[in-house]
Structure 1
Amino acid sequence: MSEEERTLVDKSESSSFEDLAAAAAHEIEEAKIAEAAATASEREKEKHPEAPATVDGWQDLLGSGAILKKIVKAGDEADGSRPQRSDICRISYEVKIRDHDAVFEKRDQVKIYLGDNEILQGLDLALKLMYKGEICLLQIAPRFAYGDTGLHPGDSLGLIGEVDGPLYEGPVIGPETWVEARLELHDWAEEPEHETLPIAERMEIGTRRRARGNWWYRRGEAQLAVQLYRRALDVLDESEGGITEPTPSGELAPTSDDLQALLEERLRVHNNMAAAQLKAGAYEAALQAVTRVLSCQPQNAKALFRQSRILSAMGRPADALRAARAAAAAAPQDGGVRRELARCEQAASRDRSLERRLARRMLGTAAPDPPGGKPSRTKILVWGSLLLSLLVGVASVLVYRYKVQSH
């Protein structure tokens, strides 16, 4: 990620159909994983009631060996209920590198929204198969832990609810590094209707989701970032009688300080989601997100910068140049904006030069070929015609002289 992109990721109502489809596919995949794991476990018990369903006490949750689970304390299975996606789970957990003793991430009695990837994906998936009060150990493959990016000393841990949390201080976690976790599910509750929550609580939830989305974005996980930003918008959305649309002049209508802060946070999320969607190649969705920001803040330099990048990616250089110029006017000292403007101007200059060359060729007024270069088709035709005319003339003279001599 370039430096300007890194510095511009802090500041998208519903996303486009392509985003919603991606989210639905993700939810379906997770549901199938959890259902398949639970069903396989029950069938195994029915077929072999005397045989252990685990190997050395470890249960293969996904059937691929990517997440292994060992129960330390059984939970309450009386009603057979387990938490579902979007439920608010109260958990405690600690994470360490497998076969190491040092714990580098630990949280006690923390609340998370299941399925939002506020914790490592391996922990999130395991919670769907746990009962109230259960404690288990997990061995998690890199794919469901820190992925190909890994974790390096000085990297943010992206802890839940902390915008500026602690940094990682352990050894390098590479793309092949497994982690081990101890996870306890205390209890859970259904997510309440957002409209029933106080503005301050909605603000807190939206901010923590944006912060976690930024963490995934910096790790190159654009789709996971979009998912968090979308969930942040769910809780930051307008409330009746609250946030209003901008006036015809582009200025926001007066509103309370709390609602104004909620609006500004929502615009920051839209702005960040545009960056993530651009990175994921969802250009139409990204343009929609950034347009929402500019409809309320026409001089938002970050939104204009991203609009320029999006339009360039969509093959609209003239529109991209206009956006870059507007961004430069709004933030003349921003190095990233200046570089984007220079890039757009160079692209526009190349396009104009190409158009002039094409026009000259069409009109037959192209400049002479450089020394040593191959003659153009037009020149070949011209010289061919002249040579043919000369030959015809010479032939005519010879015929005439022959006739004169004959007489």
Structure 2
Amino acid sequence: MSEGERTLVDQSESSSFEDLASAAAHEIEEAKIAEAAASAAEKEKHTEHKTVEKTEKTAEEWQDVLGSGALMKKILKTGDEEEGLRPQRGNICRISYEIKLRDEPNVTVEKRNQVKIYLGDNEILQGMDLALTLMHKGEICELQIAPRFAYGDTGLKAGESLGLVGEADSPKYEGPTIDSETWLLIQLELHDWDEEPDHETLSIAERMEIGTRRRCRGNWWYGRGEATLAVQLYRRALDVLDESEGGITDPTPSGALAPTSDALHALLDERIRVYNNMAAAQLKAGALDAALQAVSRVLQCQPDNAKALYRKSRILSAMGRGAEALAVARGAAAAAPEDAGVLKELKRCEQRANRDRSVERRLARRMLGTAPAPPTPDKKPSRSNMLVWGSLLLSLLVGVASVLVYRYKMQAQ
């Protein structure tokens, strides 16, 4: 029984001497007050319950995407979940994002609106790439990303390139140093996405645009020491730059094939740049056979490409093929006689070749038995021998002196 109901009963039982009409009216009024009080208490209790639920839900809003705490996701705005569709690797996503430092949220690292990215190509930070595969169209989320899925051990310093997608000359970072312990706080929005078109349907200009952006992003990863990620971007660039069956053409709106020799030449140059860069990344990653194959593709088209010859020499040296490396280094020096890097490689190969020849000659002499005997070191007299000879010499001198003294005395007599 509530406090209001208890008050109402007490008043009814103690009012037998009062006017019944007045008592009834009073009871009705008290009942209304008690009902209102009960309603208010219930509402307050419901509000407190909702607050507790909201607090508990807030604590559970962060989703541990990888189960390791390295990538946390919180939905700020739900997307279109009716069909349950999410973007897949290779889809072209249109996104907006803002990257901040988690512990210094007033510092903005990078902000982009309505930018197009190829999902799975690491055109954005790895943590963002992973999170997009879990988002629906129109969804906005907040991410906490550990350094390993952000800027890694290399970090990011003021004045270094941000490596923005689609920009060969990317703007520079101007904030405080991001080190290997710096977490990021990112707001990410997925506007929509489309499937990647068949490369056969792309014009030369479109192929060029896609290939160049992937090469530039690959260069950014390579510069950060991420050779494997760089190779991935270079391979994706070659997907659209390599010739397809029947050759690369540039269809006109009417469907006719117009001559595009200049455009094809530019596309070939871009493809050669990608193969050259990929060879360097594969060499750094230790994939020597793949690196040699990539650089050979360059030299098939441009036999005097100094950069390709230089990298081939380094690859052959790493494979232990010193004589071949020297021959290729000489070719690189002939193609670029003033390139300091090429000349340094040539000198290194020559020094290695000289050492190898010297070792071979020594081995040959030993096998034929013609190796000169090692020189015998001069033996120095030991201390004991020196004392003996010194004593003998001293005794001899004393004897000679005694004889001379004796003769002198005899003559004096």
Superposition TM-score, scaled by structure 2 size: 0.74
Q: What is the DSSP-based 3-state SS (H/G/I as helix, E as strand, rest coil) of the residue aligned with 2:59? A: coil
Return the letter of the residue paired with 2:81. E
Q: Which has the higher contact order (CA 8 A, sep 6+)?
A: 1
Deviation readout 1:19-38 (Å, 9 max, x if unpaired): xxxxxxxxxxxxxxxxxxxx
Please tell me the residue identity of whatever aligns with 1:325: R
> Residue 205 of structure 1 aligns with which residue?
210
* Equivalent residue number for residue 391 of structure 1: none
The alignment status of 1:60 with 2:64, answered yes or no, reads: yes
- 2: distance between equivalents of 1:232 and 1:123? 21
Map of 1:15 onto structure 2: none
Given candidates 351, 356, 368, the residue that maps to 2:356 is 351
Alignment-derived partner of residue 296 in structure 1: 301
- How many angstroms does 1:240 deviate by? 4.6
> Counterpart in 2 of 1:124?
129
Other structure's SS at 1:55 match: helix
Alpha-carbon distance, 1:239 to partner: 3.8
Rounded Cα–Cα distance in structure 1 between residues aligned with 2:289 and 2:111: 40
One-letter identity of the residue aligned with 1:222:
A
8 Å Cα contact 1:91/1:108 also seen in 2? yes
What is the TM-score with the length of structure 1 in the denominator? 0.75
Does residue 328 in structure 1 map to residue 344 in structure 2? Answer: no
Q: Which ranges of structure 1 fall in alignment gaps of 5 or more residues?
A: 1-49, 245-253, 374-407
Establish whether residue 80 from structure 1 lines up as the match of residue 91 from structure 2. Answer: no
Mapped to 2, the partners of 1:96 and 1:367 lie a distance apart of 72
* 2:93 matches 1:99: no
Give the aligned partner of residue 396 of structure 1. Answer: none
2:93 alignment partner in structure 1: 89
> What is the CA–CA distance in structure 2 between the aligned matches of 1:243 and 1:87, rounded to whole Å?
23
Query: Residues 77 and 332 from structure 1, CA distance in 2 versus in 1: closer, same or farther, beyond 3 angstroms?
Result: same
User: Once the two structures are superposed, what CA deviation does each residue of 1:299-327 show, in whole Å capped at 9, x if it has no partner?
Assistant: 00000000000000111000100110000
CA distance in 2, matches of 1:77, 1:240: 40
* C-alpha distance in structure 2 between counterparts of 1:320 and 1:94, whole Å: 48
Q: Which residue of 2 aligns with 1:9?
A: none
Instruction: Give the aligned length.
Output: 316
Task: Select which of 288, 307, 315 maps to 1:283.
Answer: 288
Query: Which residue is equivalent to 1:394?
Result: none
Of residues 206, 221, 238 in structure 2, which corresponds to 1:216? 221
Trace 1:168-187 onto structure 2 (pairs within 5 A): 168-187=173-192
4+ residue segments displaced more than 2 Å: 50-57, 239-244, 370-373
- SS for the counterpart of 1:223 is helix
**Once the two structures are superposed, what CA deviation does each residue of 1:234-290 show, in whole Å capped at 9, x if it has no partner?**
01111454469xxxxxxxxx9700011111101110110000000111000000000
- Which runs of structure 2 are paired with 1:38-57 in the superposition (5 Å)? 55-57=59-61
Counterpart position of 1:258: 263
Alignment partner of 1:228 is 2:236: no
Contact kept, 8 Å, 2:204 with 2:248, in 1: the verdict is no
Q: Distance in 1 between matches of 2:312 and 2:248?
A: 24
Larger Rg: 2
1:195 Cα shift?
Answer: 1.0
CA contact (8 A) 1:242 1:259 kept: no
Change over 3 Å in CA distance of 1:372–1:166 after alignment to 2: farther
SS across alignment from 1:205: helix
Whole-Å separation in 1 of the counterparts to 2:140 and 2:375: 78
Q: Secondary structure of 2:135's match?
A: coil
- 1:149 Cα offset (Å): 0.7
Cα gap change, 1:340/1:243 in structure 2, threshold over 3 Å: closer, same or farther? farther
Distance in structure 2 (CA, Å) of the matches to 1:273 and 1:217: 9
8 Å CA contact 1:243, 1:255 repeated in 2 = no
Identity value in percent: 75
Gaps of 5+ in 2: 1-53, 250-258, 379-413
Structure 1 residue 51 displacement after superposition:
12
